[in-house]
Structure 1
């Protein structure tokens, strides 16, 4: 019997030292986060450390325990259980505060009950059969009045105090209920270790119920042409545990994306089947088509989370360290963080594209691409302190950054009716010809000279039998604006009140019997 109890005694002697530690640092990326928790360790030989009350939502395969110098780690056991079976997890500062207020409320309820008993006695005083009925009525009535008044006043004060306690308890109990619903099950780690001195363990794990997205604000001073571009971030998480007073870092890394390239496919050439069998072959090919590929990790992330992880596509990874310490609760509420700002030297001009947006010119600030990494995100635009709208900042690999700050109402743009003329040319009318004439009139209503840029899409032939002759007046500053074939750009500076006419004439020639796409109708 003694030999049978020995293992039990040894197991009880090695029951773990309780520890939960604190969340010290969190690295948040689109679609997840890595949490680092510090757990204190006391010096001792062959001790079992019990790290309890952890959220079950983290990825168990990502768990890492990094020992400090002088600490040897043995086996690690991960256990999950219902919250109700772990009463030790109801000892947080929130639980202690709720218990304290509930104790005060119960004491008030007991005192109110005593006052109710006293009032009942006073109400029944002098009723039939009471020995006090023989007491002189005047003195007794006055004494009853004073006692009843004091009791009622005290009761009213107690009720007010009880209502105040209920108001304090309501948000606390709601917060506790939120945490309980978020974590119906909790995890416990049992770590066997040997520590030569008092130190800390660093516990690291990943979770998917978190993320961040960038938000930008651009401020334009139209008088000086200066632009201030501010970085902001919105962070939220619903991991089941609050991040209180943590060091927060934001990363553009996307661990849930594919980590490598798919294998290249050979480039094959083949002859098309005869037209009579083309349809049947197409049916065969369709029937033999491979099954669709499984949903990518990125698609899964977008389905699971409320964060648009696609806005980071094509950008290099970087990290932002948020100064100070930050608290992010686990209720999914987004918090805004400022990540700094840069000043841009911009060229201010009014840009118009009369073919797509007749009569409108937009104020645009052209600047060089800012240094660093700028993940795509929402952009809020302010002109001279007034909010003018929002768009999307997507720097990508562009060398130049265009920031639009709404319409310029002091530039008047009108389009003349388009002129068309068709005819035949070549040997016995073998070729057709179409002439198109466009013209625009621009007037500067500003009180100062202003730079105006007019964009014009000229026809671009995609076949050697299609010929295009273009004439512009005046000559555009660029015939291939931003390296785009066929996009011409007039860029001129107009004096106050000055008017300028811009015209484009095209002669389009093509085989008479050919079907041509893109011709104006």
Structure 2
């Protein structure tokens, strides 16, 4: 009986050893990355030899910002994938880098020097206070003139020297504080890089024999993205427009991308050159006419944390668009806005996403920490106990190694543009490196020479300026996105504008900024603007004169826009009495003049209309 039990025990141990799950680590680098406007999909590949039975393949040293349910894995050779598990792992003890140790030592030295200077300042202030409160140098004993003179001279010299020492010490303290603060910021920037977990993915597979297999892994990672920007260059009004299409890529995934095959996707898992737009003038009681001249075209500000410290590298994007920028080292940003009212979306690692409407040209924001996110990925400090956050996702066994595109004809970089069903992709054929430093790296992905129809446009009611515009046909084939554009005309930088595709029709109108050589004005003709009563009705007349002078050396073609109000009630009537050969859109009330003005000449157009409405009602008329 004892022999049988011993044999059974040995058999059980043997079976347990046979079923023991082996764990193999596979070292990989980021091989490909599809970068979206926000987030990116990262691809890794590796090779590993597995034995018969169940084996766990571990991808280590991954980003801590992986979206778990986006993980996809593939193992070839008929190997079955049993599960995919995502982990956030913290080391038992994080060793401080040598650079950080030196900075901390220098910081401690500067803090000691600051403390000594502060103590010296206190001592000087106490001595000054002592002399000030003991100015009665004679006391009860009378002093002769010579003694009084000597004491007075000593008092003056000593007080003068003390005040000079106080000023010098205060200056040294300010300098030392600035130096210590700069050093602390440098320490914080290095510490923030090190204080993140390391992500890992465990793939459990089952094999019937010993095989060397290729394994692939893809996942979506946060804190990455790209934004488009443009350079619009026009040599003169008789030459094609040169449109330089640029992609600004950034990532702070805590993993550097070295010589990576990058694909950009449009999918989403100081003087403004933006010309104004007319607003339909609806006429109704107690409804004021549209207001112009206060549209916000550029916004700037500072992004801070709850302690008032600047947040460098924060993402600032116009909500619902691909128009955006990043804050600089001091947390400052500046962004050109579309013509319509906008909201800004602020993002920063470890902070809650913040959306703010733009009500003024200055918008400072204070972001609050996302404690839940910090609990998941941030280490409390060096030498902390090990902590593991685990999230499991059994993923589909799919992995796309990507296509092999041919280079595009003569762009700045070999790029193939592919239009998908719901997005456009830019496949960059040359490997590119993007460090994890949240710095924006600019790539020229296309350069187009496009014929353009140049003309001048003005809406003097909104703004007494004339804008040069360029109309581009078939712009859809260029796969453009909304974004900021730098304007260059006649080899001179003339400002910024917005490539706003939301209002684009068959022809894309690019605003090339103001032309100061064409002067326009809009004035009310007082003699013909009046109010009178006719029976139960009140009639008000408005008469406007628009004057355009061409100070250029060549003839110009200009479109001038104005408007008459549009009535929404039967009892209110609007009669157009004069429009100087202009055309009118009856639905919107927009009036348009197409004018050709010779050099040095002045053209005038007139807009006159009358409004009748009940005399006992009040109507807001410009």
Segments of 5+ residues of structure 1 without an aligned counterpart are 99-172, 256-303
Segments of 5+ residues of structure 2 without an aligned counterpart are 1-8, 99-185, 270-313, 324-420
SS for the counterpart of 2:547 is: strand
How is 1:9-88 mapped onto 2 (pairs within 5 angstroms)? 9-10=17-18, 15-42=22-49, 44-46=51-53, 47-84=55-92
Shift of 1:434: 1.4
Q: Confirm or deny: 8 A CA contact 2:544 2:606 kept in the other structure.
A: yes
Q: TM-score, normalised by structure 1?
A: 0.65
Distance 1:306 1:505, change over 3 A: closer
Distance 1:457 1:323, change over 3 A: same
Shift of 1:79: 4.4
Q: Confirm or deny: 8 A CA contact 2:81 2:203 kept in the other structure.
A: no
Alignment correspondent of 1:387: 493
Alignment correspondent of 1:138: none
**1:109-138 Cα deviation digits (max 9, x unpaired):** xxxxxxxxxxxxxxxxxxxxxxxxxxxxxx
Are positions 1:231 and 2:239 aligned together?
Answer: no
Shift of 1:438: 0.9
Alignment correspondent of 1:349: 455
Alignment correspondent of 1:495: 598
**1:141-172 Cα deviation digits (max 9, x unpaired):** xxxxxxxxxxxxxxxxxxxxxxxxxxxxxxxx
Alignment correspondent of 1:328: 434
Rounded to whole Å, the distance in 2 between the matches of 1:200 and 1:175 is 40
Are positions 1:202 and 2:216 aligned together?
Answer: yes
Rounded to whole Å, the distance in 2 between the matches of 1:512 and 1:187 is 78
Rounded to whole Å, the distance in 1 between the matches of 2:236 and 2:494 is 13
Shift of 1:225: 4.3
Alignment counterpart, residue 404 of structure 1, candidates 492, 511, 514: 511
Shift of 1:383: 0.8
Are positions 1:516 and 2:619 aligned together?
Answer: yes
Rounded to whole Å, the distance in 2 between the matches of 1:77 and 1:416 is 72
Distance 1:305 1:351, change over 3 A: closer
Alignment correspondent of 2:283: none
Rounded to whole Å, the distance in 2 between the matches of 1:484 and 1:23 is 56
SS for the counterpart of 2:22 is: coil
How is 1:416-455 mapped onto 2 (pairs within 5 angstroms)? 416-419=523-526, 420-425=529-534, 429-455=535-561
Distance 1:473 1:249, change over 3 A: same
Distance 1:454 1:223, change over 3 A: closer
Count of matched residue positions in the alignment of Structure 1 and Structure 2: 381
Distance 1:77 1:409, change over 3 A: closer
Alignment correspondent of 2:360: none
Rounded to whole Å, the distance in 2 between the matches of 1:484 and 1:341 is 40
Alignment correspondent of 1:456: 562
Alignment counterpart, residue 470 of structure 2, candidates 353, 365, 384: 365
Distance 1:245 1:469, change over 3 A: same
Alignment correspondent of 2:276: none
**1:433-459 Cα deviation digits (max 9, x unpaired):** 112111122222221111122111122
How is 1:78-477 mapped onto 2 (pairs within 5 angstroms)? 78-84=86-92, 181=194, 183-194=196-207, 198-255=212-269, 306-308=316-318, 310-312=320-322, 317-358=423-464, 360-368=465-473, 370-372=475-477, 373-396=479-502, 398-399=504-505, 400-419=507-526, 420-425=529-534, 429-476=535-582
Distance 1:42 1:178, change over 3 A: farther
Q: Confirm or deny: 8 A CA contact 1:17 1:50 kept in the other structure.
A: yes
SS for the counterpart of 1:371 is: helix
Q: Confirm or deny: 8 A CA contact 1:232 1:337 kept in the other structure.
A: yes
Q: Confirm or deny: 8 A CA contact 2:86 2:199 kept in the other structure.
A: no
Rounded to whole Å, the distance in 2 between the matches of 1:186 and 1:86 is 15
Distance 1:81 1:474, change over 3 A: closer
Rounded to whole Å, the distance in 2 between the matches of 1:396 and 1:369 is 15
Shift of 1:324: 0.8
Rounded to whole Å, the distance in 1 between the matches of 2:52 and 2:17 is 17
Q: TM-score, normalised by structure 2?
A: 0.55
Distance 1:180 1:436, change over 3 A: closer
Rounded to whole Å, the distance in 1 between the matches of 2:523 and 2:89 is 77
Shift of 1:490: 0.7
Distance 1:484 1:491, change over 3 A: farther
**1:310-340 Cα deviation digits (max 9, x unpaired):** 2159x95222212311111222111112221
Cα RMSD (Å): 3.4
Rounded to whole Å, the distance in 1 between the matches of 2:48 and 2:593 is 72
Q: Confirm or deny: 8 A CA contact 1:470 1:507 kept in the other structure.
A: yes
Q: Confirm or deny: 8 A CA contact 1:350 1:451 kept in the other structure.
A: yes
Q: Relative to structure 2, which stretch is displaced further, 367-376 or 384-393?
A: 367-376
Q: Which entry has the higher C-alpha Rg, 1 or 2? A: 1
Shift of 1:368: 2.7
**1:204-245 Cα deviation digits (max 9, x unpaired):** 111222111111221112241421222211111221211111
Shift of 1:33: 1.3
Shift of 1:350: 1.9
